[in-house]
A = this chain, B = another copy of it.
Amino acid sequence: MISDPQERAVPEAMKRTTRQEKRAQTREALLDAAERLWAKHGIRGASLDEIAASAGMTKGAVYSNFAGKTDLILALLDRYTQVEFGQRTSSALRDQGRPRADRCADAGRHYASRLSAEETRMKALLLMELWLFGMRDFSAGWRIADWYQSHREGLAAGLRTGGDDLSAEDRASLAMAIEFGLALQHLLDPDRVPAELYGPGMNLVLGPAMP
């Protein structure tokens, strides 16, 4: 990691992009480009040349920052799993004091508005692309699995656990299933599968356990 703890800590103002800052910038630019192009064309559909060019670099920059294509995928996956899924719609579900159905409907609208954005649509494609990759690559598989699990736990944490035949985590699994499964159908066929179904779905699955 950081090999120089001494850190002269920027003498006066900015030494103008200190070397490793610059490196970090190009690294991020490459990851951005990879995310963009892989979402649009698939992981196998966009070459390292294209990605590097899209980031204003050449392929050598990729191999200077990553071990290879697979490493770039894994790095993107790590960044993706850290940044995304901050709290999402679950925060809307949690705010108590209002009727459950209203909260769910709000979450549904939030969900729908997110899915209608082209950016989110692309991210969903990338997400499935990464899922497929993870299903075929062991080391990537458990990273994705852990990421899902953390999201699951976050959702379950907001639920009331009681003398129920369904644990909070199981309800969270079902809620996530609706979240992903609904996006699957809605993105393919927006007219016949409205994204707003998210609200009623959450109400059915989480409702009985919502605080």
Spell out A's residues near B (CB within 8 Å).
Answer: 41-42, 44-45, 125, 128-129, 131-132, 134-136, 141, 144-145, 148-149, 152, 165-166, 169-170, 173-174, 176-182, 184-185, 187-189, 192-194, 197, 200-201, 204-205
Contacts and interface: CB of A to CB of B under 8 A. Distances in A.
Given A178-B181, A205-B204, A42 B132 contact: yes
Dominant SS among interface residues on chain A: helix
B184 A180 contact: yes
Nearest to A124: B135
Contacts of A188: 131, 134-135, 141, 144-145, 148
Most buried by B among A42, A134, A144, A193: A193
A170 B135 contact: no
Contact of A178 (B45, B131, B178): B178
Contacts of A165: 200
